[in-house]
Structure 1
């Protein structure tokens, strides 16, 4: 797994640290040790059971509050003309146009390790 530069993606967090996160927007998941292990690519055993299953997913960490991450994902979706649906702590981004392999569908989920440290998992479904 290659970490992404979150400052390049999300910008500096200097002005957002004083903002109070909206609890409706910041529905994120707290992780226990078993969740963290299951998210590790080193412990993923699915390749032993499924042939040619290449995951199209990216995981990265951020020190931004969950509300800032959600806001940035929504801005990117708006720029790419994708519809955003919120289902609990999951953001579903859906394209309106059919492509060669159907409509684009992306899930983004935010996990909370600590109050100021989040794991963001983005995957094509």
Structure 2
């Protein structure tokens, strides 16, 4: 019996952040896929297998927050970590909804990201009843 590793999806228009985060996730034993836009992620066939989404808030076209809202509208519940180089306390203070498990400012600490992802995976385990 093979156990599938959790799939972490990274959506960021900044290639260096995208590739560094993908490399970190793989080095920690996760499956990782990266996308340069929200629209590319939405076309990803195994989208529903995504255990955690790490997305930039500010991107050309569909923002990370808009991506989150689209997923919710599609009935897809993916624990999400929002990352941004432009922190906005008003946005953060409003709250994001139950699927948002983290809000990190770039450059973020790897341990902070890992803590958010662990929280997301524990939440997913609760939903599946494992």
- The alignment's TM-score, normalised by the length of structure 2, stands at 0.26
Name the structure where helix makes up a greater proportion of residues. Answer: 2
TM-score by length of 1: 0.27
Instruction: For CA contacts below 8 A with separation 6 or more, give which structure has more relative contact order.
Output: 1
Bigger radius of gyration, 1 or 2?
A: 1
